[in-house]
Structure formats: structure tokens, C-alpha cells
């Protein structure tokens, strides 16, 4: 083999190697679903996706799911395994849950005042209130319905809290009163060393009914 033929052969081998590298690198990039590899979206059904959307007819996940962004479901939600949501979940269709654990933080508060108003931020954060009045009855007044609508924004919405009167001093009660645009229905007083629940219900006319489930005081 002449020197020229050897040079041509080596040159051809280099060209083939470069082409193989281009194919391999390009293939790996197109298979990467992260970042902005598919800015126009991916669709596995007959409808073109919106930009950045992954679109399909069904989704099956066999392991635990963690969703870190807002999630909106417009049809039935069936959950049979562990699901962790670290932000808002909106479901507009039927929801079927085999086991539901509902909760939030506990607010333990001790006070010598005799009257206060629920803070919206506390109602949003806490699901259980352990209240210890030190010297006399304590009256909690709910904010106006215009404020409470943040908690129950749509007609038919409801939300429930557990209230504990943690004092053991006889005759010191925790009392509840409605604000503007709301009506309180049921026993309004939680006796010492007792507890019960309060539920807000949004009516069709935007008024809010406050339902109590307390034992009758001594």
C-alpha cells in the first residue's frame, strides 16, 4: 500500500469516527427530557401540545409521587399509593381516596385577655387550637365574611377546625362570636377541659355559616 493510500485510509477512518460521535452525542441530547430540550412540548395523543407541555391520554405511576408545583386536575382523581404535594392541589372532578389523613399545625396559646379576633393567617395555618384562658372567659370573634371568603372561596366550600379549652379552672370558658356577614349556629361555648369542632360553610349568597359541634357547657 502506497503512502498516499495509507493517508487516504486514515483520513476516511477519522471522518467515520467524527460522524459516529455526532450521531451518538445528538442521540443522547434528543433523549434527554430535562431542561429545554423540547420547548415545543411532547404529545402522545392526537392533539398538539402547548409549548413546554407533556401531553398524553393516561398516566400511570407505580411509585411514590412528589409534586412541587401547583397541580390542577379537571376530572376524577384516584390515589391508591403515597402522594406528596408541597404546594396547591386543585381538583374540580370527583376524588376517590382509600385513606385520607388531614391535618395541619397546632396552635397552643395562653392568654389573660378576655376578647380577641381570629387572625386570617392563623386560620389558614392551624387546624387545632389549644386555648388556655388564664383569668376569665375568652371570646373569639370571627372576621367578616369578606375575609373568611379566603378560606371558603366558592359556594358549597367548607373548612373545619378543632378547638380545645385547655384550662382546668372551673367556670372559665372559650366563647365564639360571628363577624359581619356570618351566622353562628350551635352551642357557642367550650367548657373548661373540653373540646369540639367549628366548621365554616360558604352559602350561595356569599354569606358564611359557622357550625359548632361543642358539648353543652356545665
What is the average per-residue pLDDT within 171-182?
93
Q: Considering only CA atoms, which of 181, 190, 178 is closest in space to residue 214?
A: 190
**Each residue of 37-65: pLDDT tens digit?**
667 777 777 777 777 777 766 667 777 77
CATH topology for 105-213?
Answer: Jelly Rolls (2.60.120)
Higher pLDDT among residues 134 and 76, named by residue: 134
73-83 average pLDDT score? 64
- Does residue 209 register a pLDDT over 80? yes
Q: Where are the domains of the chain?
A: 105-213
Q: Tell me: pLDDT of 99 over 80.
A: no
- Give the model's confidence band at 7: pLDDT under 50 very low, under 70 low, under 90 confident, else very high: low
Contact 179, 202 (CB under 8 A): no
What's residue 94's pLDDT?
Answer: 73
- Using the predicted structure, report yes or no on whether residue 132 has a pLDDT greater than 70: yes
Q: Which of 136, 153, 126 is nearest to 208 (CA)?
A: 153
Asked whether residue 29 carries a pLDDT value surpassing 70, the answer given is: no
The yes-or-no verdict on residue 110 having pLDDT over 80 is yes
Beta-sheet strands, E only, within 6-118 = 42-43, 54-55, 65-67, 71-73, 77-79, 83-85, 89-91, 95-97, 105-111, 115-117
116: Cβ–Cβ under 8 A, 6 or more apart, which residues? 138, 139, 140, 141
Beta bridge partners of 165: 131, 194
The reported pLDDT for the residue numbered 30 is 46
- Return the pLDDT at 72: 67
Amino acid at each position: 500500500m502506497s503512502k498516499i493510500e495509507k493517508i487516504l485510509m486514515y483520513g476516511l477512518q477519522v471522518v467515520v469516527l467524527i460522524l459516529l460521535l455526532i450521531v451518538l452525542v445528538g442521540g443522547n441530547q434528543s433523549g434527554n427530557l430535562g431542561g429545554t430540550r423540547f420547548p415545543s412540548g411532547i404529545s402522545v395523543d392526537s392533539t398538539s401540545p402547548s409549548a413546554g407541555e407533556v401531553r398524553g391520554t393516561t398516566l400511570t405511576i407505580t411509585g411514590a409521587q412528589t409534586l412541587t408545583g401547583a397541580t390542577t386536575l379537571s376530572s376524577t382523581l384516584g390515589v391508591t399509593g403515597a402522594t406528596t404535594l408541597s404546594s396547591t392541589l386543585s381538583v374540580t372532578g370527583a376524588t376517590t381516596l382509600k385513606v385520607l389523613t388531614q391535618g395541619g399545625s397546632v396552635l397552643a396559646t395562653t392568654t389573660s385577655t378576655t376578647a380577641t379576633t381570629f387572625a386570617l393567617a392563623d386560620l389558614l395555618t392551624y387546624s387545632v387550637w389549644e386555648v388556655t384562658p388564664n383569668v376569665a372567659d375568652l371570646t373569639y370573634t370571627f372576621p367578616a365574611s369578606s375575609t373568611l371568603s379566603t378560606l371558603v372561596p366558592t359556594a358549597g366550600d367548607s373548612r373545619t377546625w378543632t378547638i380545645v379549652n385547655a384550662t382546668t379552672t372551673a367556670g372559665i370558658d372559650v366563647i365564639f362570636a360571628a363577624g359581619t356577614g356570618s351566622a353562628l349556629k350551635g352551642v357557642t361555648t367550650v367548657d373548661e377541659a373540653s373540646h369540639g369542632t367549628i366548621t365554616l360553610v360558604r352559602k350561595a349568597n356569599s354569606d358564611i355559616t359557622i357550625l359548632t359541634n361543642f358539648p353543652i357547657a356545665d
